[in-house]
Amino acid sequence: MADDAKRPVAEAAMLIRRPVAEVFEAFVDPAITSRFWFTRGSGRLEPGARIRWDWDMYGVGDEVVVKAVEPPRRLLIDWNYNGTLTPVEWTFEPRGDGATKVTVVNSGFGGDFAACAQDALDSTGGFALVLAGAKAWLEHGLELGLIEGRHSDSLVEGWSR
């Protein structure tokens, strides 16, 4: 697609009723993130790091490259989305009463317009689940299993948390 300005973009946002530093840390520390997104991460998000994230329930994993960590306001990574390296940016905005608005934007999808649009829709849905899972975990201590439930027909045989 020639005009990058017209490429579809994935965006999801959620208000999480926890302080911004705590919400930011939940996306940097794999011990916390694994409660609502991937099952394992090889390390904390730090600028320049190459981190592996695994989703054991599906038998898949991928490496992400950390481009920016600006506590407690912004994270930027590059990750492989359907064969294209795409940027994913999280912004964390403090709101009243100790709440945080988290916005995730995934852009740079490859292929023709239809493929980009489908990838943007799929990514938006996926990040909406990640944010809902983060909200449930951080506000209520609940692991909803949203990511493993998203593609339940693709779970590794015998998978259990």
Q: Is residue 63 part of a domain?
A: no
Domain region containing 109? 10-37+70-150
The CA angle 46-49-52, to the nearest 5 degrees, is 110
Has residue 2 got a pLDDT over 60? Answer: no
Q: Is residue 59 part of a domain?
A: no
Grade residue 159 by pLDDT with cuts at 50, 70 and 90. Answer: confident
Has residue 1 got a pLDDT over 50? Answer: no
Q: Is residue 131 part of a domain?
A: yes
Q: Is residue 21 part of a domain?
A: yes
Q: Is residue 140 part of a domain?
A: yes
Instruction: Residue 135: give its domain's CATH number.
Output: 3.30.530.20
Q: Are 24 and 71 contacting, i.e. CB atoms less than 8 angstroms apart?
A: yes
Average pLDDT, the chain: 94
Q: Is residue 94 part of a domain?
A: yes
Task: Give me the number of domains the chain comprises.
Answer: 1
Q: Is residue 5 part of a domain?
A: no
Q: Is residue 126 part of a domain?
A: yes
**pLDDT (tens digit per residue) in 61-79:** 999 999 999 999 999 999 9
Query: Of 17-26, 66-75, 107-116, which range is least confident?
Result: 107-116
